[in-house]
Amino acid sequence: MSFQHTLEGLFNKGKAKLDELTNNRPQQQPQYQPHYQQYQPPYQPQYQSQYPGYQPQYPPQNQPQYQPPQYQPQYGGQAPPIPTSSKPQRTPSPYINTSTRPSTTAAPYWQAAFYPQTPVSALFQQETGSHGWGNNESQNYTTDPRNCFFTPDNKLVLRGIVDPSPENKYTSARLISHQKLDRQRGCLSATLTPPCATGIWPAFWLLPSQPFTWPNDGEIDIFESWNGDCVNHSCLHWGHYNGEDWNKHRVVETPIPDMGQRPHVFELAWDQPEDGVGGKLVWYIDGRAVMKASIPAGTRRIGDWKVILNVAMGGNVCGGRLPEVGTYDFVVHELKMSAEPTGGWRRFAEDWERTREGKTL
């Protein structure tokens, strides 16, 4: 993946987030028509779901359905122009599939229970919409159980569906946890098998609970990858994508060659003083620290943040590419919050000393 492609993807991602979060009432937009419609991607075999033909029974019989609070966006302002100046090239972090941390794990203070008889809405707010999400994306986020469900073997699946029918061609799911991080120090962990394909953009990330101001209150990306490039983007953002805020972004790219072939563990450990000012963040992949960053002054207290999981399709970040007809499963094997990272806080301190800080844009 070229530096230019990566930089354009990150800039487009930032503009997408700002456009999405600064529109009080997103309006329906015509489907994005890229200038290069004649582009024909290289042949790829159709993505095969890990749960072919599985049709969840939803809602479960004799189970009262949870009614989450109505989503009320609280944003304002206008998107800044995308900077045109070039930035220093970032060197991807080499991925080593070995753990440098002890195998002992702390008991979680919260763990999502993926029981098939439970509605997804019991654990997550299910956001909906097909307005492009500020990025000209093509998917319609729905509450349809075909797009998001718990499996008989207790996993959560967010399923992007590309249907041959033009009436409802691209559908997917976007979830926000009801649970906050809720502590001044701890570790958030997710075991994931993401879909890796052209036009697909799965993500596991954090935003402060509503209401909040983006980007000033902050954004943390723990896992995200697009277009099947098998590269994870660990990110911290608390500024606009312009020349003035160039130093308010931290990014490390980590190639994971077998990203979509087996589960990987993505973690974020945090340690913040009781007053909620400053602190430390460390990102992990399969037990190996890949990035660190100081918690910026002025961002929201870390205990007030929530988990977001989603599968986007097409749009500017994917370079206008769209996925082929098929199903694309983002499988969450485990999602939990623990009082300390694996190996304890002494190990966290050691990881902080030897892990490199994320690069600026």
- Is residue 181 a part of any domain in this protein? yes
Report if residue 197 sits inside a domain: yes
Tokens of 205: 């990330």
Q: Is residue 45 part of a domain?
A: no
Residues 306 and 77: beta-carbon distance below 8 Å: no
Is 67 inside a domain boundary? no
Position 348 in a domain: yes
Cα–Cα distances in angstroms (integers) from residue 302 to residues 248, 271, 290, in the given order: 17, 9, 20
Separation of alpha carbons 340 and 270, rounded Å: 9
With contact defined as beta carbons under 8 Å apart, do 224 and 308 qualify?
Answer: no
Res. 289: pLDDT tops 60:
yes
Query: Domain containing 246 — which CATH number?
Result: 2.60.120.200
DSSP strands (E only) in the chain: 108-111, 124-127, 140-141, 148-150, 156-162, 170-172, 174-180, 185-193, 200-208, 219-224, 231-237, 249-255, 264-271, 280-285, 288-294, 305-313, 326-338
- Per-residue pLDDT of 245-266, as tens digits, reads 999 999 999 999 999 999 999 9
- Percentage of residues in the chain with pLDDT exceeding 90? 65
The count of structural domains within the chain is: 1
Residue 68 in any domain: the answer is no
Q: Can you give the pLDDT at residue 187?
A: 98
The reply to whether 288 falls in a domain is yes
Instruction: Give pTM, 2 decimals.
Output: 0.77
Report the C-alpha gap between 62 and 6 in whole angstroms: 49
Q: Is residue 59 reached through a cis peptide bond, with omega within 30 degrees of 0 on the bond before it?
A: yes
The string of pLDDT tens digits covering residues 163-215 is 998 888 999 999 999 999 999 999 999 999 999 999 999 999 999 999 989 89
Instruction: Kindly indicate the confidence band of residue 40, based on its pLDDT and cuts at 50, 70 and 90.
Output: very low
Which residues form the domain of 334? 3-29+75-354
Q: Is residue 120 part of a domain?
A: yes
Give pLDDT tens digits for 114-160: 999 999 999 999 999 999 988 899 999 999 999 999 999 999 999 99
Task: Give residue 50's identity as a one-letter amino acid code.
Answer: Q
